[in-house]
Amino acid sequence: MQTLWINAEDALLLLGTKPQTLYANVSRGRIRAKPDPADSRRSLYQVDDVKRLAKRHAGRRQAAAVAADAVRWGDPVMPTAISAITGQRLFYRGRDAVELARELALEDVAAILWNGPPNGISIPAGGVDSGSRMSAAFAALAARVMSDLPALGRNPAVLQTEAADVLATVASALAPSAEALPLHERLARGWQRPEAAEPTRTALVLAAEHELNVSTFGARVTASSGAALSAAVLSGLAALTGPRHGCAWMSVITLKTVAGTIGAREAIRGILSSDGVVRAFGHRLYPDGDPRAKALMASFEAPPIYRELAAAGEELLGEPLNIDFALAALADSFRLPEDSPLVIFALARTVGWLAHAMEQVESGELIRPRAHYAGPAG
């Protein structure tokens, strides 16, 4: 189903609010907006977002309904000092992630997100490439879970040291190397594509953290139980493998393959007609385009078919490409292994999961929502 847009007058009628409230909701990312193609001085607003807020503001819903809506792209549900998405930009502890991606490595970003040493985190060499890197990461983490100490009740400095060790475990599986190189170089050299090192560095930094996405929330829930940091990362890694999260890039490869046969516009039309959504485009938190995708695409020369898809997607869907599209284009451009987008995503996001796990442990809170029973009466 194609995204529907309405003008300000219709949006205000649905919301029953003043224009200032509409604009405030747009600035906070609650309502997606874009310029009106017929009049650049006016804006159009995403109708589903407007209806969702109108329903929330009705004022007569029970707390259970509000809580249920909050976990589906609703209002913030817990405080964090790690990252923020505001003004359609992503910030890591107050610093623009796109700016950080211009120069820093993932290890430097780990130090920022963990409030760690200013000179970055050092990851020792280790690991042997023995086949599926993702399978190796699952196995390595699972082997640690029952022997690692619970995270609850331990000094933050001690947890940071353990976090670096957990990251090293994941790196040994996802980016095995006999040399103590920066993680982006370990990946590029391991794939025998040294020329891919710089855009891989950019990708790792941009994918390191993204607020309370589904895998991060899973990691925080696990950490709230007091489980080991390795257990929290294992939870995040499991959630990442879903096709609506870390494996969304696979739909981009399918789109590219179809486009190579019938053209970009017809490929988008076909997938939209059959699936109702083209996951390569749009992001609810970035109405004007995913800044991570734009920065990553600028770091390498994508093949013509991706540029054609990007233009056709924005024209037909009214949505710019997202980071899943950019990761798939990166892998295809440098002929990286088939699962390389997921490997990059998993290695990068491990840093964010560990940051959230440590923050959750420090809060001392157990994440335990209530369920609203909707089954048959007993």
Active site amino acids: 283, 324
CA distance 203 to 206: 5
Unique residue bearing structure tokens 């048959």:
376
CB count in 10 Å sphere of residue 42: 12
CA distance 340 to 346: 10
What are 5's strand-pairing partners? Answer: 46
DSSP state for residue 150 in the 8-state scheme: P
CA distance 1 to 4: 9
- Do 26 and 287 touch, CB atoms closer than 8 A? yes
Q: Which helix (H) or strand (E) holds 89?
A: strand 89-92
Q: Which helix (H) or strand (E) holds 42?
A: strand 39-46
- Do 297 and 321 touch, CB atoms closer than 8 A? yes
Q: In what order do the strands lie in the sheet with 33-36?
A: 5-7, 39-46, 33-36
CA distance 349 to 246: 10
Structure tokens given for 245: 């999260």
What 3-state DSSP class applies to 7?
Answer: strand
Strand ranges (E), the chain: 5-7, 33-36, 39-46, 83-86, 89-92, 95-96
What are 35's strand-pairing partners? Answer: 43
CA distance 107 to 182: 8
CA distance 310 to 296: 14
CA distance 32 to 317: 14
What 3-state DSSP class applies to 86?
Answer: strand
CB count in 10 Å sphere of residue 185: 19
